[in-house]
Structure 1
């Protein structure tokens, strides 16, 4: 019985750590964005410039610890490392849930979004299993006791995890779980079906009795039903607070608004263009790859002259900064503006390129993996 429980715990924890690490390694830049949220919450933004590097390290660490646990290698060190990590993350998810500082922990990336309390519950279960493994660490038997073979296994796992993380960082996620993935129709993803229920809220008032000093909270419905508003002794203090009762239908894309420098909304016009069009996404012009911008500028100018393809650059920078950048780099593309959050989701690169037609994402690339002009023409525009 004890052996079965130990094997179950070892296999379950090992596989879950590998899965969690791989899912995040599939999108290390996205995991880096999530880490930046935590850095801001805990007022340690000094680490933000290194968020992606830290993200890759954590992904590799999860995969390696999970694999070594399955192999049974160095059980004392591995179980100690797992215990330290799970204690840290249990604390982190509890803080996120209790104080509502981060709405999603990013434990399984965008593949399996979890609420803070779901993340905390998951970590509690893992904590129990890992404590059990730590207590019985001397009973974990390795697949091999040969030191050379163990080192080869470690090197192989580390190498594969690092190579995979760097590949997805350079060439975009292998599996795209975001609503802007290849083949997605953005207009459809932004629609709310007819008859879909919206979020249901309750408005809460804080009341104070001017005569006795007594305070109470009351919903807007009870406020009207009890007719307490007729009693001049009771007054509303502070601002009413909305309390979510029931989550309604939520569009896959709910925060994409594209405008020009004057604030005019161009979202519909740009994402429903019936012809081939190119979106160059540079959410932060201050940290974008300027060499890539120059190459893209030359490429899109050529495509426009030959195929009349509309090219726009999307950024979250101010219009003033974008104007300076455009003049400095002699940009051909039109410049439009959107919030950084949807732009980061649109393509995991700065800059990234999205090829669209009739509202559908035909393909997208990181600036480091853009195909040659001749290949683009042969694949899409010379047909």
Structure 2
């Protein structure tokens, strides 16, 4: 039992630290996932949506810290009880999301390792078993340092997690796992790789031939002879790969200008998914930045989901000499974890990306 507890302790502790750190690297992204869970379409607790960021920060810090506590043997009973309650909640959440097909990506490992809810549920069941072993064998969890040393390491782990969370919120994720990271080409990420796995779909045709109703299942060709096609149903046998980027666009109300702008050698893109909720201090910095960029030959555009009246209002209020274009809100939140945020592209390749706090660091 002592050996089994020791193995479980290392596995669970390391997994909680990794899972927590990946989300701690991008707490804003995790808060967007929590908002999805809180929405009326999933758990129907929308009153929690405004507090999603605060909840996200507390959850991921606690996830990292409790993993550290387990590895160093700090307060074993408190740690094991915390792990057990967390995994019971997570297991319920992933089962609910999977069974009712409410959420496509659970967000357990952020953008670093997308997992379906069923995959996440399976992972949580394994963790639940291991944590139950720790619960039953808690007496075998001993501190690896002295009492003072264990307390100091535990406190340092908490302070380091809190500091890191503050840093990435005030700047940008330290590690960017998304398809809009520096060095990525958007056009390439919008296309399927040549060796991509294709979807396999069965078509079930119901038809009549010589007055007799028949059913044919094939890959989509349909019956060679028939009197009348009554109906056809499809069933996905194997899901196909998808492009890394699926919904990115740069549009007006009348025109799609995505290809046009992605061919520009010097494109400065200002992203604010909702102009009304964008940070005012950040918006105030954009006038001088955009004016300097225009002088140096950049094409400057804004990206938002706000309506035309709001766009014109902000353009006049801040005296912007550039226009705002439309894009999907989820995409804009994915491009840069800042509102406003700034991205510089060269023929679709991301060259620089900055939080509004770091606009001064942009090199034009």
Q: Same fold (TM over 0.5)?
A: yes
Query: Where does residue 270 of structure 1 map in the other structure?
Result: 261
> 1:224–1:192: structure 2 CA closer, same or farther, 3 Å change rule?
closer
Query: Where does residue 156 of structure 1 map in the other structure?
Result: 156
Query: Contact 1:186 / 1:360 at 8 angstroms: preserved in 2?
Result: yes
1:223-302 matched pairs, under 5 angstroms = 242-260=234-252, 262-273=253-264, 275-302=265-292
- SS for the counterpart of 1:142 is coil
Distance 1:64 1:229 in 2: 68
Query: Contact 1:27 / 1:173 at 8 angstroms: preserved in 2?
Result: yes
Query: Where does residue 214 of structure 1 map in the other structure?
Result: none
Query: Where does residue 346 of structure 1 map in the other structure?
Result: 335
> 1:313–1:224: structure 2 CA closer, same or farther, 3 Å change rule?
closer
**More displaced stretch, 184-193 vs 11-20:** 184-193
Shift of 1:200: 3.3
Shift of 1:308: 2.0
**More displaced stretch, 164-173 vs 56-65:** 164-173
Distance 2:275 2:117 in 1: 32
Deviations for 1:69-112, whole angstroms, at most 9, x for unmatched residues?
00111111110000000000001111111111000111111101
- SS for the counterpart of 2:60 is helix
Shift of 1:165: 1.2
Query: Contact 2:273 / 2:329 at 8 angstroms: preserved in 1?
Result: yes
Query: Contact 1:170 / 1:369 at 8 angstroms: preserved in 2?
Result: no
Shift of 1:17: 0.3
The answer to whether structure 1 residue 319 and structure 2 residue 308 are counterparts is: yes
> 1:24–1:206: structure 2 CA closer, same or farther, 3 Å change rule?
farther
Distance 2:307 2:236 in 1: 34
- SS for the counterpart of 1:269 is helix
> 1:54–1:195: structure 2 CA closer, same or farther, 3 Å change rule?
closer
Deviations for 1:89-146, whole angstroms, at most 9, x for unmatched residues?
0011111111110001111111011111110110000000001100111221112352
> 1:106–1:218: structure 2 CA closer, same or farther, 3 Å change rule?
farther
Query: Where does residue 357 of structure 1 map in the other structure?
Result: 346
1:1-383 matched pairs, under 5 angstroms = 2-40=1-39, 41-146=42-147, 148-193=148-193, 198-203=198-203, 242-260=234-252, 262-273=253-264, 275-305=265-295, 307-372=296-361, 376=362, 379=363, 381=364
Deviations for 1:340-370, whole angstroms, at most 9, x for unmatched residues?
1111111111111001112111010110122
- SS for the counterpart of 1:167 is helix
Query: Contact 1:22 / 1:63 at 8 angstroms: preserved in 2?
Result: yes
> 1:124–1:339: structure 2 CA closer, same or farther, 3 Å change rule?
same
Shift of 1:247: 2.2
For structure 2, list consecutive stretches of 5 or more residues without a partner in the other structure. 208-214
Shift of 1:219: 5.7
Shift of 1:245: 2.1
Query: Where does residue 210 of structure 2 map in the other structure?
Result: none
Distance 2:216 2:121 in 1: 30
Shift of 1:228: 9.4
> 1:227–1:141: structure 2 CA closer, same or farther, 3 Å change rule?
farther
TM-score (norm 1): 0.86
- SS for the counterpart of 2:182 is coil
- SS for the counterpart of 1:119 is helix
Query: Contact 2:202 / 2:220 at 8 angstroms: preserved in 1?
Result: no
Query: Contact 1:276 / 1:358 at 8 angstroms: preserved in 2?
Result: yes
Distance 2:33 2:59 in 1: 13
